[in-house]
Amino acid sequence: MAVVAFALAIVKPAEIVQFELKSLDFRFIARGELTPDPRVAIIAVDDDALSEIGRWPWSRDKIAEVVDKVLGKYGAKALGFDMVFSEEQANVVDEALRLLNQNVTDVYGDNAAGHMQWLKSQRSFGDVDAVLEGTLIKHRDKLVPGYFFYSQAAGAPDLVKSKLEEEAALMRSLAMTSSFSKEALHSLPHIAAIEGNIPRVTKAVDAIGFFNFFPDPDGTVRRIPLMVEMDGYVYPSMAMQTLRMFLDWPEMSVVVGDVGVEEVRLGPLNIQTDATGSMLLNHYGPGKTFAHYSAADILNDRLEGDELKDKVVIFGVTAVAVLDIRATPFDPVFPGVEAHAVAISNILNGEELKRPPAVEVIELLMVFFLSLLAGYLVYGRPPAIQGLIIVGLPVIIVGTSQWLFTSHNIWIEETFLIVGVLLTTIPTALLGYIAESRKRAFIHDAFSHYLAPSVVENLAKNPDALKLGGEEKHITAFFSDIASFSTFSEKLTPSELVTFLNRYLTAMSDIILEEKGTIDKYEGDAIISFFGAPVDMDDHALRCVVSAIRQQQRLAELREEWKAEGLPEVHVRIGINSGPMVVGNMGTNTSMNYTMMGDHVNLAARLEGVCKAYRVPILMSKDTYSEVRDHVAARFIDRVRVVGRSQPVDLYQPMALRIDLADEQQQEFRAYEKAWSLMLHGDYKASLKLMTKLYAMSPHDGLYEVMMARLKTYIHSPPPDDWTGVFNLKNK
């Protein structure tokens, strides 16, 4: 997807470009308004001026009067026209002569010829173009008439196209100093036809300039062309020419290379443009951000003496009825004349928006590598982290973009960076979500039959807690089996046996699951389970032992029920051991089971069988006892070496939670431990005496009978002198 993002940044689809332009507008709004250069002002033919002076267009002598007062009386340094004088204004004397000529004899009789001759002698008074021409000549080095050009001949009127050679001849001396490569001519906008001023206007001044705008596809003015090309010559805009006059006529030059405009200079000023010679406007605010002076106030001498002194002035129409309105990021009804003022102020202060070629190259690289980085950052991360990255990276991009825009007037196309981030992060996150959902479904299917629902839910939410294939974990193994199952099963029909076992297994399994245990498997009447996997538990040993105690308590209740129903009484043996074991999905690719294996598993199984030898319901190893001794009261049973294991193990019988243990029981446990200690040290008779006493107190405790029989044997056939108390079991 990073490659796709990179390709989009190169191709620049119109939809993404349009979104980027809107985001650029938002950057203007977020930055807020700025104060423009106070040396730039607008002379406006506004609605008030039309109401006071009359409808537009005004007579050329009125225009001349405004210009003369602005540059003369009020002392402006340079003036640019955002208007064109493309046709001669009708001479009112000529119009009077035409009308009188139709019926002059009827009006003047024999004196008609004399009157007509006199009227012709007054013709110069009706030539208002001459008045304007005279004013232009008077201030020729301070003002720039504007003109409009057509970039395609197909859209130009025939009359305009027919005057192209004449207009070109008049303009040629006004071209910029330029340097072209052979392939560069097509980089700049091309003049196909000119809607120019009448020749007497063009010849009366030292400079002219075009005032075209090229709005973006959405109609918003964000840039202004500073130059155009015709017949190998480069011609500057009205704004450039006016600024040149204001700066006392510095040299104006352009270098156009193979990829477009490379450098535009106006004296000491280096102007940033795009490849076509257009400058990105750094708008200061909505309409009338610049100082506006009504042309009516100029004509009627209502300005203070120095309001326009030494300023650069753009003379144009802002009246709504004339419709010279543009859309900008700040204002949908922005006066077109003010856009030229924005350009001049930008250039004067080096405030134009910048997109140097280096920025475009860096953007392309950033689109690719940031997309890769974003995809890497979300891959395999938790949803919260993914969401933070998916939202956070675009926020960082927008923040950085806004900072560059506000502090350095640099425009970076943040939309392509954001698109690149989203193209890699969202699909990656979605694919991860799908994979995670499948993993959760697998976990649910795999564990729902032998894990508590809460444990399954926890695993589904945190699948990383499960490592499929096998891992070593410190857990507690549980083995249980019904004593003499074969004997009592013979007393039941198969149907009764199944019903009985289901009832028993359900009761025992419910307790295991309530204690968050994992049921490994059922083998007939046997239950094999473990605690501490697949979900880690710090108290796995305690939960396992509590589960065993609760099962024996529940069995006591069930025995009463079964007895009342005429069913056999059932006793269950349980073996427990804690230690490192391997747990995981074992089996084949098509059939597997989440199970445990290892030496400590085997020991737990052996302890279940050892219960029979000591006639106790539960046995746990010392490893388990050391983990639960603070919470569970247990009595020491013996030190044995089970079949198949060389290392001896101390056996303990969990009796109850410590908070539930009676003092009498505690005293009995200590008495037994004393008797066992006497046996260990070879005082078998004293040990037998104490064991006999304990048996008399608890005749139903089979452990005492077992130990009494062993002590009687030791009295007649004592163990070796180096005996360590280990009893070697011969049966599993």
Q: Which two tokens stand for residue 384?
A: 């919260």
Distance CA 482, CA 627 (A): 27
What was the pLDDT predicted at 590?
A: 60
Rounded to two decimals, what is the model's pTM? 0.65
For residue 561, the tally of other CB atoms under 10 A from its CB is 10
What was the pLDDT predicted at 101?
A: 63
Distance CA 311, CA 298 (A): 15
Predicted confidence (pLDDT) per residue in 243-283, tens digit: 999 999 999 888 888 778 888 999 999 999 998 899 999 99
Predicted confidence (pLDDT) per residue in 283-320, tens digit: 999 999 999 999 999 999 999 878 999 999 999 999 98
Q: Which two tokens stand for residue 720?
A: 């070796």
Looking at residues 437-448, what average pLDDT do you find?
A: 69
Smallest CA-to-CA distance from 505 within 524, 531, 483 is with 524
At 478, the pLDDT band (50, 70, 90 cuts) reads very high
Distance CA 540, CA 628 (A): 10
- Looking at the DSSP bridge assignments, the partners of residue 528 are 479, 521
Peptide bond preceding 217 in cis form (omega within 30 of 0) = no
pLDDT at 444 over 60: yes
Looking at residues 645-650, what average pLDDT do you find?
A: 92
For residue 644, the tally of other CB atoms under 10 A from its CB is 11
| DSSP structure class, residue 451 | B
Which of 340-344, 358-362, 705-709, 718-722 bottoms out in mean pLDDT, i.e. has the lowest? Answer: 358-362
Predicted confidence (pLDDT) per residue in 356-386, tens digit: 878 888 888 888 888 888 888 888 788 888 8
pLDDT at 109 over 60: no
Distance CA 4, CA 87 (A): 55
Sequence spans of domains, the chain:
2-13+355-442, 34-91+127-349, 465-653, 662-732
Distance CA 148, CA 543 (A): 90
Amino acid making up residue 401 = S
Into which CATH architecture does domain 465-653 fall?
Answer: 2-Layer Sandwich (3.30)
pLDDT at 673 over 70: yes
Smallest CA-to-CA distance from 714 within 687, 691, 696, 692 is with 687
204 and 140 in contact (C-beta within 8 Å)? Answer: yes
Predicted confidence (pLDDT) per residue in 62-98, tens digit: 999 999 999 999 999 999 999 999 898 887 766 666 6
SS (H, E, C) 403-441: HHHHHHCECCCHHHHHHHHHHHHHHHHHHHHHHHHHHHH
Number of residues assigned to the chain: 732
Predicted confidence (pLDDT) per residue in 604-637, tens digit: 999 999 999 999 999 999 999 999 999 999 999 9
pLDDT at 230 over 90: no
